[in-house]
Amino acid sequence: RLVHTLDGCRGPATGMDFCDDGAICGSKKDTSKFASEKCAIFSSYVKSISKSGEGVQVQHSDDRLWQACAIYCKRSDTGGWYTPRLELNDLPISPYFPDGTFCHSEGSTKYYCQRHMCLEKDSRVARADKPDLDIPNNAKAKEEVEIPEPLKQFFSLDDNKEPVGGEYYGVGKEQDESEWEVKDYLN
């Protein structure tokens, strides 16, 4: 029996079922090709992303379960790689690979993207107690806010696809949300 409380309620575990889609999918797109097509689109929204549209899927990380499911784009300014999670947050464009995308293996255990995380095939996941990034994810209403450098580094990889920044613990100050614009794309 579920007991619903505000304090500590993680909700029921959810999972995905996988099936063989060979009968309905004639061919599958390579992850680099998919990422590059998306990065070409992202470059219209994020000026630091190269207009060449080069994109990749990067290696799985136990510390950043989302990393192998995020689309990383070549940067025009540093030559490194960047995933525009925050810049695209308010747009109907996803910086992630689709659910079901293969992202890792350990021996015979295969991992797939499931709700933006690289998880074992038969994982059942409950909502985390803390978000992976504890910051407000919407822009202020009347001004363009620059993303803090430590946060940009958190989403950046060097040219060898190694993390540039470490952990990011949040903005630290509360913001007045009373005049923020609400964009609801579910109309």
**Which residue carries 């996941």 as its tokens?**
125
Give 105's pLDDT tier (boundaries 50, 70, 90).
very high
Between the alpha carbon of residue 124 and those of residues 41, 119, 136, 140, the distances in Å are 33, 9, 27, 35
Residues, the chain: 187
pLDDT computed for residue 128 by the predictor? 57
Give 37's pLDDT tier (boundaries 50, 70, 90).
very high
Q: How far is 170 from 97, CA to CA, in rounded Å?
A: 25
pTM of this prediction exceeds 0.85:
no
Contact status, residue 14 vs residue 121, Cβ threshold 8 Å: no
Between the two ends of the chain, the Cα-to-Cα distance in Å is 34
